[in-house]
Amino acid sequence: MASYSTNEFKGGLKIILDGDPCSIIENEFVKPGKGQAFNRVKIRNLKTGRVLEKTFKSGESVEAADVHETDMQYLYADGEFWHFMDPDSFEQVSADAAAVGDNAKWLKEQDMCTVTLWNGAPIIVEPPKFVVLSVTDTDPGLKGDTSGSGGKPATLETGAVVRVPLFVQIGEAIKVDTRSAEYVSRAKED
């Protein structure tokens, strides 16, 4: 089993902690002049997204996590799993709700997503930074008011709800920033 010594600790290193894959965010070397050395580490649990801290004795070894990110194309959802394909090998993986989480609302078939694999299975699915989605529902009565103040809610084809300017109408495609869930512009559906 691969392992890392605390001397290899640095931001981004993937380790196993309490059975879960984790990524090191920050590593601090703590040592009294004449005493025991420790590594105080801030870690993100990649399955839950939670940030935790942990103190190790310097020189200890920790199990390495076989975790890597890869770009994959989103194919479809079957109600239980979301299916993705490696565009080079055509290999497919299926992600469960725990891996997809809230990001399900940004997943559009054919879009390229960043999938984090642990031992080959998806644990995190990240949508593209920008997605183009069509508006399936919004209040049409507000047409003509172009003051731009406030905007209105619009439901998108994937079920996501974002605030859009008043001029946006049902059937139009818009570009959305998935990190902030904010409307960016109108878009041509491609």
**Residue 19 binds another protein, judged by CB under 8 A:** no
Q: Of these, 33, 49, 144, 148, which contacts another protein (CB under 8 A)?
A: 33
**Residue 20 binds another protein, judged by CB under 8 A:** no
At residue 35, φ and ψ (nearest 5 deg) are -145, -170
Span near another protein by CB under 8 A; candidates 48-56, 82-90, 121-129, 130-138: 48-56
**Residue 179 binds another protein, judged by CB under 8 A:** no
Q: In the complex with another protein, which residue's Cβ is closer, 12 or 141?
A: 12
**Residue 35 binds another protein, judged by CB under 8 A:** yes
**Residue 28 binds another protein, judged by CB under 8 A:** yes
**Residue 38 binds another protein, judged by CB under 8 A:** yes
Residues 57-96, interacting with another protein (CB under 8 A): 57-58
d(CA 66, CA 55): 22
Q: Of these, 10, 40, 50, 129, which contacts another protein (CB under 8 A)?
A: 40
In sequence order, the 6+-apart residues with CB closer than 8 A to the CB of 24 are: 9, 10, 11, 12, 13, 14, 15, 41, 42, 43
At residue 103, φ and ψ (nearest 5 deg) are -70, -10
174 within 8 A of 155, measured Cβ to Cβ: no
- What is the smallest separation between the CB atom of 119 and another protein, expressed in angstroms? 23
Answer positive or negative: Cα dihedral of 59, 60, 64, 65: negative
**Residue 23 binds another protein, judged by CB under 8 A:** no
Residues in contact with another protein by CB under 8 A are 7, 28-38, 40, 52-58
